[in-house]
Amino acid sequence: MEKARGALSRTATIQEARVLAPQGASGVLRNVVPQSFGDYGLGWRVRHLPDGSVGQQRQPRVCALVVDDIRDVAESLAKVLTAMGCDAVFLTDPRKALDEVRRLQPHIVFLDIGMPHMTGHEVARLLRSEFAHEKLKIVAVTAYDQETDRIESRKAGFDAHVAKPVAPEMVEAILRTVVPGIV
């Protein structure tokens, strides 16, 4: 048996995984190896199929972090992202965002602006001090949607600014625009 670390630091035991092999034949994968993305397990690389042939490597999915002080909002957006095929994690404490980004190394962060303890602008500035625009995309998801708010978001280092509530179609458009080629 192998142990593998999951997205929320949960440990799972992996013995075998049932899959749909090429040409529609089902099979069982054994000897899987974690395909890590920092400390964040994104998926599995197949070493051998039961017949001894080498399986294909799964492409990494978009890894997203959602930060909003309102748990229902953060969790809902994370569920939408997961339904779209992303690996999504959410936080409700903005003070933990920098450490979580270092740990997960996500492609994109959806960040609320008006939060207690630390504003989204402060979090974005911290993230930008370590992660360039090419390495990490940051999207403001906020109730603040005046032109002056969008200007302030750009100054803080956000790549996009959208008003709440965000429709799933908008989330998909953001992913296609902000993280092109990976969605």
**Residue pLDDT tens, the chain, 183 long:** 333 333 332 222 222 332 322 333 333 333 333 333 232 233 333 333 444 444 444 455 899 999 999 999 999 999 999 999 899 999 999 999 999 999 999 999 999 999 999 999 999 999 999 999 889 999 999 999 999 999 999 999 999 999 999 999 999 999 988 887 665
Q: Into how many domains does the chain fold? A: 2
Strands (E), the chain: 2-5, 11-14, 17-20, 26-37, 40-48, 63-67, 87-91, 108-111, 137-142, 160-163
**Structural domain harbouring 107:** 63-178
Residues 78 and 153 in one domain: yes
Number of Cβ within a 10 Å radius of residue 2: 11
Residue 76 falls inside a structural domain: yes
Biggest CA–CA distance in the chain, Å, is: 61
Residues 125 and 67 in one domain: yes
From residue 51, alpha-carbon distances to 21, 57, 99 in Å are 11, 17, 43
Token reading at 11: 């440990």
Residues 88 and 35 in one domain: no
**136-153 exposure pattern, b = at least 16 Cβ within 10 A, e = fewer:** bbbbbbbebeeeebbebb
